[in-house]
Amino acid sequence: MSKPTAELAEVFSSVQGEGMLIGLRQVFVRFRGCNLTCDYCDTPTEITAEPCLVEQTPGRRDFVPTANPVALDRIVSLIDGWQRGWPGVHHSISITGGEPLLSHTVLSAWLPELRNILPVYLETNGIMHSVLGLLIDHIDIIGMDIKIPSTSGCTGLWDDHRSFLQIAARKNVFVKIIVGDETEEWEIIRASELIAAINSHIPLILQPVTEPGGRVGINPVRALEFQEIACRHLDEVRIIPQTHKFMAQL
């Protein structure tokens, strides 16, 4: 039986610019569609008739437009080729988007095959906990956001984040919070307490918002104050911006 196809935006090789895997080379598979509309989002998420941009040579940006929906065999043969040509270079496959868990039916068929090639890293908005429970066995590392209202504009997600993290904590997981000058202390306290109630060793990344012009959108001292607040609850709190944007990596 043929594997389900997926609506993808792009497939490319780059340096992970965020979170605990920062600096490692990854194959990025970007799914289309999202169930949130974060105010700061730097990624087009709508599903359109546009083709998927598939890079041919890892990191050289020689993209070939590929009709959507894309077949799994297309992605597997691409990554297998990169593994043969550039052995030992890629640490893992980043499954990202948009919100990749919206494509959970596809992922249930794709992840086992992709994971035969490289470990799977899931980049997610951290709210689709039932779906995560169905896929968690096929995922190695999870980077989940906690969406705070001050920067994302999203509200009412705390319980979903809690349920999500309770499942994600079965694997290697870290949490990212996008912080800005409008972020309030109660948000950092609430997020830190939520994480600590599950496991105070789960790393928290305070990720400064990157503004459209590329400026880091938080006062330096304010970031330090948020780190100090989070450190009252958690063992490992890092301030890491989106570094790929500072070194012209995709």
Ligand X SMILES: C[S@@+](CC[C@H](N)C(=O)[O-])C[C@H]1O[C@@H](n2cnc3c(N)ncnc32)[C@H](O)[C@@H]1O
Ligand Y SMILES: Nc1nc2[nH]cc(C(=O)O)c2c(=O)[nH]1
Maximum Cα–Cα distance across the chain: 57
30 is in an annotated binding site: yes
Type of residue numbered 122: L
Type of residue numbered 131: V
Which residues, 6 or more positions from 61, have their beta carbon under 8 angstroms from its beta carbon? 12, 55, 250
Type of residue numbered 173: V
Q: Is 34 in the site for ligand SF4 (CB under 6 A)?
A: yes
**x/- contact string, 149-168, with ligand X (CB under 6 A)?**
--------------------
Q: Is 97 in the site for ligand SF4 (CB under 6 A)?
A: yes
Q: Is 47 in the site for ligand X (CB under 6 A)?
A: no
Site for ligand X in 4-23 (CB under 6 A): none
121 is in an annotated binding site: no
Q: What angle do CA 82, 84, 86 make, to 5 degrees?
A: 60
Which residues, 6 or more positions from 150, have their beta carbon under 8 angstroms from its beta carbon? 180, 182, 183, 184, 187
Please pick, from the candidates 13, 26, 92, 125, the single residue that binds ligand SF4 as defined by CB under 6 A: 125
Q: Which does 17 bind (CB under 5 to 8 A by kind): ligand SF4, ligand X, ligand Y, none?
A: ligand Y
Please pick, from the candidates 43, 48, 57, 77, the single residue that binds ligand X as defined by CB under 6 A: 43
Residue 196 or residue 250: which is nearer to ligand Y going by CB? 250
Q: Is 18 in the site for ligand Y (CB under 6 A)?
A: yes
> Which residues partner with 54 through β-bridges?
11, 64
Shortest distance, CB of residue 23 to ligand SF4, whole angstroms? 21
- Structure-token pair, residue 44: 């087009």
Please pick, from the candidates 14, 150, 166, 172, the single residue that binds ligand Y as defined by CB under 6 A: 14
Spatial CA neighbour of 96 closest among 143, 161, 31: 31
Q: How far apart are CA 30 and CA 12, in angstroms?
A: 9
Using alpha carbons, list the distances in angstroms from residue 1 to 77, 90, 109: 18, 30, 11
Q: Is 96 in the site for ligand X (CB under 6 A)?
A: yes
Q: Cite the annotated binding site for Mg(2+) by residue number.
A: 43
Which residues form the interface with ligand Y (CB under 6 A)? 14-18, 43, 96, 123, 244, 249-250
